[in-house]
Amino acid sequence: MAVNYNLFHYFNNISTYFISVLGYNVATNLIRSMTEYHDLRKADTIRIISYCKRSDARLKQQSSLSSYHTTLNAQFETIQGLEKHVKLINDQCNNVQQVIERYQKKVDEMYPKIRFRSTRKHCRRNEMENLFKRAHSPLCKVLAKLKKLRKKKNKVVNTLHNVDIEIQNLNHDPITNQQKKIIALNKQKKNQNKLQEIEEDIIDAEKKRNRKELIYIAEAREIFKQCEQLEKQRLNEIKQVLIDFNRAVHSSKYLKQLDSIYEQLISNIRTKQNSTAAVEYWAQAYGVNNVTITVSSETDEEENDYDSDSAIYYNIDSATDDDDDEFEDE
């Protein structure tokens, strides 16, 4: 029994799908997605840096009467923590970019550009197609021969049919020349023998076709296995780049560094931001601890609203220039 010829098309088509440009489209979509994430994170760093600069400027513009010492330092340190976070994000973006570049290089090697064209093709597509063509070539020759024999058979059958009609007409014609009958019968016999030979050739060709079909299927399956390996390679590349990308985005090193930044920041705020020390610093800076008391005996009622015979005046020594400079530094 002849093997279904559609199976040949199946092997050719399914194998070329494995090494078609569709794989390149998948790769470029993946690269585009990773690049978009990289660009989003980079944009985040730009916005955060801008935010830190604005926040830093606002802190420096605040009145030193209400923003000072350890509390002010804690606010500056919070901004510095964000700047450290930005550095980590930049490191993360650099790692993602390296993943993209490595994968892009492999994709370019797997799907090189076709010369003088903007399209791409799998690096081994031509090789696989040629293997299928060579494997299919012997079968194609047999099929072509079989097609030619069948066409030849149809021609002989039609000729024989016309000869049969001619003989019938000659038999029914009483005045027919006997010589014409002999010629027609010889022609009939010749075409019958020719038809028999063609039919025998067709049988032999069909047997040969069946054998070639089985050989082709066996070879096609081996070629198909090579295509499967190429497809596994492509899928493994995707698998690896996804692993590398996720490591770059969610690496334990990155998370540990991020935790370290904020744990240190929270610890510093809790331990170094001392409201009592800040209040004492403010009092010292503005000379509250240097207050002196002066008693006056003047009792001019027109100039003094107090009912007592004497008034107490408080003289506060202003902070020294050095203290102001020290505070500004703080």
Measured from the Cβ of residue 317, the count of other Cβ atoms closer than 10 Å reads 12
Instruction: Determine the Cα–Cα distance for residues 77 and 59; give it in Å rounded to an integer.
Output: 11
Name residue, tokens 């601890």: 289
| First and final C-alpha spacing in the chain | 97
What are the counts of helices (DSSP H) followed by strands (DSSP E) for the chain? Answer: 8, 2
- The predicted pLDDT at position 10 comes to 63
Specify whether the CB–CB gap between 198 and 204 falls below 8 A: no
- The predicted pLDDT at position 7 comes to 55
Answer whether residue 68 shows pLDDT above 90.
no
Predicted TM-score (pTM) of the model is 0.68
Most confident range (mean pLDDT) of 64-73, 166-175, 188-197, 258-267 is 188-197
Q: How confident is the model at residue 6 (pLDDT cuts 50, 70, 90)?
A: low
- The predicted pLDDT at position 288 comes to 67
Considering the chain, what percentage of its residues have pLDDT values greater than 90? 42
- The predicted pLDDT at position 245 comes to 96
| Mean pLDDT of the region 58-82 | 84
Answer whether residue 16 shows pLDDT above 80.
no
- The predicted pLDDT at position 312 comes to 39
- The predicted pLDDT at position 303 comes to 47
DSSP string, 206-218: HHHHHHHHHHHHH
pLDDT tens, residue by residue, 164-182:
998 888 888 777 678 888 8
Instruction: Determine the Cα–Cα distance for residues 327 and 64; give it in Å rounded to an integer.
Output: 8
Instruction: Determine the Cα–Cα distance for residues 135 and 176; give it in Å rounded to an integer.
Output: 59
SS3 120: strand
Specify whether the CB–CB gap between 84 and 218 falls below 8 A: no
Most confident range (mean pLDDT) of 31-35, 212-216, 319-323 is 31-35
Choose between 284 and 5: higher pLDDT.
284
Considering the chain, what percentage of its residues have pLDDT values greater than 70? 79
Specify whether the CB–CB gap between 19 and 230 falls below 8 A: yes
Q: How confident is the model at residue 195 (pLDDT cuts 50, 70, 90)?
A: very high
Most confident range (mean pLDDT) of 60-69, 123-132, 186-195, 287-296 is 186-195
Q: How confident is the model at residue 39 (pLDDT cuts 50, 70, 90)?
A: very high
Name residue, tokens 């690496």: 251
Instruction: Determine the Cα–Cα distance for residues 97 and 89; give it in Å rounded to an integer.
Output: 12
Query: Which of 18-32, 212-226, 281-295 has the least mean pLDDT?
Result: 281-295
Q: How confident is the model at residue 321 (pLDDT cuts 50, 70, 90)?
A: very low
Q: With helix as H, strand as E and coil as C, how does 133-185 read?
A: HHHHHHHHHHHHHHHHHHHHHHHHHHHHHHHHHHHHHHHCCCCCCHHHHHHHH
Answer whether residue 118 shows pLDDT above 80.
no
- The predicted pLDDT at position 320 comes to 39
Answer whether residue 325 shows pLDDT above 50.
no
| Mean pLDDT of the region 255-284 | 78
| Mean pLDDT of the region 108-133 | 87
Angle between helices 178-250 and 69-110 (to 10 degrees): 160
